[in-house]
Amino acid sequence: MNEQAEELVSAPMQAPTVQSGGLRSRVGIWLRWVVPLVSVLAAWLLWHGHSEPAKETAGAARDVPFLDGKWIRYSAAFAQRAGLVFAAPEARSLSPVVHVTGTVGFDPGRVAAIGARIAGRVHDVHKLEGDTVAAGEMLAEIESAELGEAQATVISARAHYEAAAANETRERELSEARISSHREAEVAKAVAASARADLTAAEQRVKAMGGSTQGEAGVLRLTSPIAGKVVERHLSRGQFVEPTLTAFRVADLRRLWLQLAVYERDLAAIRVGDSVDILAPGAAEPLVRGKVGYVAEVIDVATRTAQVRVVIEQPPAPLRPGQSVLARIHTSAPALPRLVLPRDAVTSVDGKATVFVAGPDLTVEPRVVQLGSQDGTHVEVNSGLSADERVAVGGVFALKSEIFR
């Protein structure tokens, strides 16, 4: 009885011991995983809660302009740091400088194309590219059977004419002495005139071929009609040539032309005689200077440009026909006074010409303007600005870079 009572008493006491051990194990596992997660979450919330004010504080500490509607607001400290300077536009006229690209070319009055005119074979070449030639100097010789036949015709025609002319003289003298009839003298005169016409035709045929009645027959001597340099050669010794061949091109390079395509908006300011600086691409100093020699009266409807020709006399720099150059035309046409700003006051925003107009209480308004002519330092404002407004002329880049990145 006592043993059973002891078992009954001891059994309930052992069961709680086993259950209590399992519960402590589960609680330990829970604390081991959950508590660190809660700690990490609390730290993140704490950091996130303080980071936003930190960012706001850092942003507030950075002194930069900001957009407020149509205005850009800035502080006095930024204005001093960026060097913001404002000025009113000037009312005056410009002598604009027109910048345009062009191509150097020959003066057509100082270039000659020398052709073979007849078929033949090249016997000799006396001048090559780059050689200097005088007017009338021989360039090449071409053997031609066709020319030889034409020259032989001249010799025959000259002989007939000389005989007919002698007969005409004799018949006239006999007629005057009443030894022969007047009619015979008239017939002799007509025969002599016909022979003279045949000789003239034969000589003109030889001349049209480029040949001469003097010298060796059947040899065409190509000569230069002008003094200059050989810039092209299209034949070699032994080559067979056709009448359409341009064998040589000779040019006087002491005068060149520069052809420019100028937009119609700039044409009104350009006059014949205006000075032009001619520069190689990338060069800072002009290679040579010229003068406007011609301004076209017709505008190309496709390109909206007109041709302007610049005459370059005796260029000291090595300008070459076909070369692409830059031209600065210093216009001399009178212009009406307009509002003028320094070129540095105008910037580009979204591809549009923009200025910063001063507003009240440290503000500026970015405003799109329409520009006109410009010279090396100033530009005309055709619309978008009035004379009583003030515009940022210094610190424009710093202002733009903070707002329009």
Whether residue 355 has pLDDT greater than 80: yes
| Statement: residue 6 has pLDDT above 50 | no
DSSP state of 395: S
List the chain domain ranges: 68-94+336-403, 98-108+252-330, 148-209
DSSP H or E segment with residue 348: strand 347-349
Most confident range (mean pLDDT) of 20-34, 285-299, 333-347 is 285-299
Q: SS3 for 76?
A: helix
Which of the 8 DSSP states describes residue 215?
S
Lowest mean pLDDT among 9-18, 37-46, 105-114, 243-252: 9-18
Whether 120 contacts 240, CB under 8 Å: yes
pLDDT, averaged across the chain: 82
Task: Determine whether 331 is exposed, middle or buried from the number of CB atoms within 10 Å of its CB (0-12, 13-18, 19+).
Answer: buried
> Looking at per-residue confidence, does 106 or 376 come out higher?
106
Whole-model pTM? 0.58
User: In percent, how much of the chain has pLDDT > 70?
Assistant: 83
pLDDT digits (tens, 9 = 90+) for 124-161: 999 999 999 999 999 999 998 888 888 888 888 889 98
Cα separation, 375 vs 77, in Å, equals 34
Q: What is the mean pLDDT of residues 25-50?
A: 58
Share of the chain above pLDDT 90, in %: 37
Could you give the C-alpha distances from 335 to 94, 171, 330, in angstroms and in order? 7, 83, 13
Q: Is the Cβ–Cβ distance between 257 and 106 less than 8 Å? A: yes
8-state DSSP, 109: G
One-letter identity of residue 220: L
Residue 189 in this model has a pLDDT that exceeds 90: no
The CATH number for 68-94+336-403, chosen from 1.10.287.110, 2.40.420.20, 1.10.10.60, 1.10.10.10, is 2.40.420.20
What CATH fold (topology level) applies to the domain 98-108+252-330? Elongation Factor Tu (Ef-tu); domain 3 (2.40.30)
Q: Identify which has the larger pLDDT, 231 or 167.
A: 231
Can you say whether residue 262 is alpha, beta or left, with left for phi > 0 and alpha for psi between -120 and 50 degrees? beta
